[in-house]
Amino acid sequence: MFQAETPIEPQAATESTNQMTSGFSTFVSGVKEGDFSAQTWVGFWESVGQPILLAVVLIFVVFLAAGWTRRLVQKAVRRADVEETLARFLANLARYAVLLAGGVAILGTLGIETTSFAAVLAAVGFAIGMAMSGTLGNVASGVMLLLFRPMKVGDVVSAGGVTGKVFEIGLFATVFDTPDNRRIIVPNSTIFDGTIENVSFHDTRRVDVTVGTDYTADIDQTRQILMDTAKACTDVLTDPAPAVVLTELGGSSIDWAVKVWVNAGDFWAVKDQLTRDIKYALDGANIGIPYPQMDIHIDGQVTRA
């Protein structure tokens, strides 16, 4: 006949928990009875103090290891010629993985059973996920941004109501540096759910300068002056060639648009110079640039007080 199975021994974590609880109870009871002997303090140290001290040390070590792992992974992926955006994402992911593993180890040190930790974590995660659907949405949007690659680190974009250079695409948010040196953090879902304008995606950009001239000015002469000014502007590309377009016969002016192509890095410098050169060229040809005016007519007699 088969003998009855021997009862399963309690797990080490459970024994540790019972030991801490028993040791703490014994210490409290001894203190209440006025027992401050060395044996009481040694028992408290061995059952409670040492596990807590070890957990504190482990917390410090885990944070150091997480930072070291992040730097190591980032250097490794950079050496593999992985793009900076993905390199930072993988480095942060490795850091979170180390923190999670370290947290489990610390709980085990304190005597908390970790064999069913995964199931508990799944249940807690589900509950938190229901309450923090927006946060999970940010994570999903971050993954989509990395997959579809509408922007990368170093690009100048307009997204989520912000215009600036992309510093980092993280798990939850994207970090921007604005032209006036401000750092703005935008949730990933806000960016992915909206329109993303990648200003620096192409190597070249078009500069448009609009200007209005007097109706008394000759149209052909004005067109030639504007074209000569556009071609003479520094850093303007010849292909595509500059263009001058008569856009509208306005209420008080003939409206023009001067369009030139430049390298993306020269956009603002060329726009500033071209606007200046057009003003001086029209002044030199005695062609006026109208501006809105208001004529006031007073009916009746004006009486001075």
In the sheet that holds 254-263, the strands lie side by side as 204-213, 254-263, 243-249
CB 13 within 8 A of CB 114: yes
Closest to 285 in 3D by CA, of 277, 295, 274: 277
CB 222 within 8 A of CB 254: yes
Cα-only R_g, the chain: 36
* The pLDDT value given to residue 28: 57
Range from 13-27, 40-54, 285-299 that averages highest in pLDDT: 285-299
Could you give the residue range(s) of every CATH 1.10.287 domain in the chain?
12-126
Question: Would you say domain 204-284 falls under CATH 3.10.580.10?
Answer: no
Average pLDDT, stretch 113-117? 61
Predicted confidence (pLDDT) at residue 1 exceeds the cutoff of 50: no
pTM check: above 0.85: no
* The pLDDT value given to residue 105: 76
Average pLDDT, stretch 86-96? 82
Read off the pLDDT of residues 238-290 as tens digits, 9 standing for 90 and up.
Answer: 999 999 999 999 888 999 999 999 999 899 999 999 999 999 999 999 999 88
Question: What tokens appear for 99 in the block?
Answer: 């923190």
* The pLDDT value given to residue 61: 86
| CA-based torsion, 84, 88, 89, 93: positive or negative | positive
CB 223 within 8 A of CB 239: no
Predicted confidence (pLDDT) at residue 3 exceeds the cutoff of 60: no
Tell me how far apart the alpha carbons of residues 192 and 138 are, in angstroms, rounded to a whole number: 9
Lowest mean pLDDT among 32-41, 67-76, 93-102, 281-290: 32-41
Average pLDDT, stretch 121-135? 64
Query: How would you classify residue 292: left for phi > 0, otherwise alpha for psi between -120 and 50, otherwise beta?
Result: beta
* The pLDDT value given to residue 112: 65
Burial pattern 4-33, b for ≥16 Cβ within 10 A else e, equals eeeeeeeeebeebbeebeebeebbeebeee
Tell me how far apart the alpha carbons of residues 226 and 203 are, in angstroms, rounded to a whole number: 25
Length of the chain: 305
Predicted confidence (pLDDT) at residue 119 exceeds the cutoff of 70: no
Tell me how far apart the alpha carbons of residues 274 and 286 are, in angstroms, rounded to a whole number: 18
Predicted confidence (pLDDT) at residue 5 exceeds the cutoff of 50: no
* The pLDDT value given to residue 78: 78
Lowest mean pLDDT among 4-18, 172-186, 204-218, 247-261: 4-18
Average pLDDT, stretch 171-177? 90
Average pLDDT, stretch 86-92? 80
* The pLDDT value given to residue 95: 86
Could you give the residue range(s) of every CATH 3.30.70.100 domain in the chain?
204-284
Tell me how far apart the alpha carbons of residues 222 and 283 are, in angstroms, rounded to a whole number: 11
At the topology level, CATH places domain 12-126 in Helix Hairpins (1.10.287)
Question: Quick check: helix, strand or coil at residue 263?
Answer: strand
Predicted confidence (pLDDT) at residue 142 exceeds the cutoff of 90: no
Lowest mean pLDDT among 40-49, 62-71, 73-82, 95-104: 40-49
Question: Would you say domain 134-198 falls under CATH 2.30.30.60?
Answer: yes
Q: Return the percentage of the chain with pLDDT > 70, whole number.
A: 72
Could you give the residue range(s) of every CATH 2.30.30.60 domain in the chain?
134-198
Could you tell me the pLDDT band of residue 6, with boundaries at 50, 70 and 90? very low
* The pLDDT value given to residue 39: 63
More confident residue, 176 or 28: 176
Predicted confidence (pLDDT) at residue 84 exceeds the cutoff of 80: no
| CA-based torsion, 96, 101, 102, 107: positive or negative | positive
More confident residue, 60 or 82: 60
CB 259 within 8 A of CB 210: no
* The pLDDT value given to residue 245: 96
* The pLDDT value given to residue 256: 95
